[in-house]
Copies of this chain bind each other. A is one copy, B any other.
Amino acid sequence: MLQEEVRRELISILGSEHFKDDPQSLVTHSYDGTPMLQSLPDAVVYPSSTEQVSQIMKVLSRHKIPVVGRGSGTNLCGGTVPVQGGVVMVMHRMNQILEIDLENLTATVQPGLNTKQFSTHVESLGLFYPPDPSSMSISTIGGNIAECSGGLRGLKYGTTKDYVIGLEAVLANGDIIRTGGKLMKDVAGYDLTKLLVGSEGTLAIITEATLKLVPPPRYKKTMLAMYKDLYGAARTVSKIIENRIIPATLEILDNATIRVVDDFAKLGLPLDMEAILIIEQDGDEEAVERDIAIITEVCKSEKADQVSIAASQEEADKLLTARRSAFTALARLRPTTILEDATVPRSKIADMVIEINRIAKKHQVQISTFGHAGDGNLHPTATTDARNKEEIERVDEAFEEIFEAAIRLGGTITGEHGVGMVKSPFLEWKVGPAGMEVMKAIKSSFDPHNLLNPGKVFAKETRKRVVIQRG
């Protein structure tokens, strides 16, 4: 519970209808998209303007009360769980598209704006905002910025970071900063824009964003290649890139994922395949047709069992929707689904899938793998049961070894989900002790009292990296 004085100050800023500390509101905001993590906040607030956010931060800062900024809480790293209590600041009331500038091809939006709604609106104007995280029908732009969300189109178009060119943000002390602008080039001082993107709410509360829009592709084509040999699928990925083709989408589903996705989406996929690649290319018609022809040849040369091209946009959409539903489909198998995002150089995806399968077998846990093969961004996904403590321990051990394997292959512990609570014990494996010191110093320089999303990114203790010896 907040002190009565703080409560009164917050209500005077927000109005009583936008300050909640009833049990239902607290429970609703005690968890996010990440399984097995829960912690009650002391209050939930719904600001409607940057000025309110600034006033709230001044109050919280004076009383040293933690604050967790939150969009729709779809993240998978425990990023919005209020693990040290305090206030959850929900940005849903700040959900406006403030401007679409057709001359400069920029959009200025508030953080609580729904990603899909924004993306659809932009498309209706004949423009394109590429980042498409799987959660986009629920997620917010602010959440996407905090986590630097990726998506299926990341291979060709990059991730959220590549589209954020300006920000307004409120610092821990309530000061408001503006970074970048409607500018394609700006080197005035350190790049605070890119630093705030992906900072997971630990450096500032984002209150407005200027986003770059691009011309949409004129044409696209989607294809499916199925393999009885996983390495054939992986070699196909490398060979496509080596052929100087960057597809818009290049997704992989392993056998376990194929089975559940097919059962869920009724696609009639053959269930004896070790891997399926879903490949989409977009651009000008001539170029797309040429690329698809080359890719088809590459698939065949790598002994794809079947290669088929979607005959219509409906068929293509069905395939991509099936891929997007992988998480949901897997979630039907068992009570708890843990979706990870170990990422490796794209040349290493076959090695990584083999490692994941070996590790899953060793620990006798069910792990299905799908993901953005072209990026090397894989989603090993454990289907398990949170109530079975012993099994969860085995799952944890398996993921620890998976992160270790990713690092060993030149990869990272997270490609697009963020560090949050879940990956924080492993961050030092990727960035090293000196990197940790630098990041902690940056955190302190923004937020000396550790009020912004405390308990995230930085763990109390780094997990000991003893996996190789055990493996």
A residues contacting B by CB (< 8 A) are: 101-106, 126-127, 147-148, 150, 154-155, 159, 161-162, 171, 175-179, 181-192, 194-195, 197-199, 203, 214-216, 238, 241-242, 244-246, 283-287, 290, 343-347, 372, 374-377, 410-419, 423, 427, 430-432, 434-435, 437-439, 441-446, 457
Contacts and interface: CB of A to CB of B under 8 A. Distances in A.
A187 B418 contact: yes
The complex is assembled from copies of this chain, and their number is: 2
A192 B345 contact: no
A417 B195 contact: no
Given A178-B432, A444-B445, 16 more contacts: A127-B244, A148-B191, A155-B184, A161-B194, A171-B434, A176-B434, A179-B431, A183-B343, A183-B376, A184-B374, A188-B419, A188-B423, A189-B419, A189-B435, A191-B195, A215-B245
Residue in A184, A285, A418 whose Cβ sees the most chain B Cβ within 10 Å: A184
Given A182-B345, A241-B104, A414 B187 contact: yes
Given A105-B241, A182-B345, A187-B415, A192 B435 contact: yes
A142 to B, nearest CB: 16
A103 B239 CA distance: 8
A177 B177 CA distance: 29
Contact of A439 (B192, B374, B434): B192
A343 B105 contact: no
B439 A191 contact: no
A468 to B, nearest CB: 19
B410 A182 contact: yes
16 contacts: A103-B346, A148-B187, A171-B434, A177-B432, A178-B432, A181-B345, A184-B375, A185-B375, A185-B377, A187-B198, A188-B412, A189-B439, A190-B198, A191-B197, A192-B431, A283-B284
A212 to B, nearest CB: 10
Contacts of A203: 190
A236 to B, nearest CB: 12
B439 A442 contact: no
A179 B435 contact: yes
A104 B190 contact: no
A435 B178 contact: yes
Given A194-B194, A347-B101, A411 B187 contact: no
A242 B101 CA distance: 10
B430 A188 contact: yes
A326 B409 CA distance: 47
A419 B188 CA distance: 6
Contacts of A427: 188-189
B347 A103 contact: yes
A404 B239 CA distance: 51
Nearest to A239: B103
B439 A190 contact: yes
A181 B344 CA distance: 9
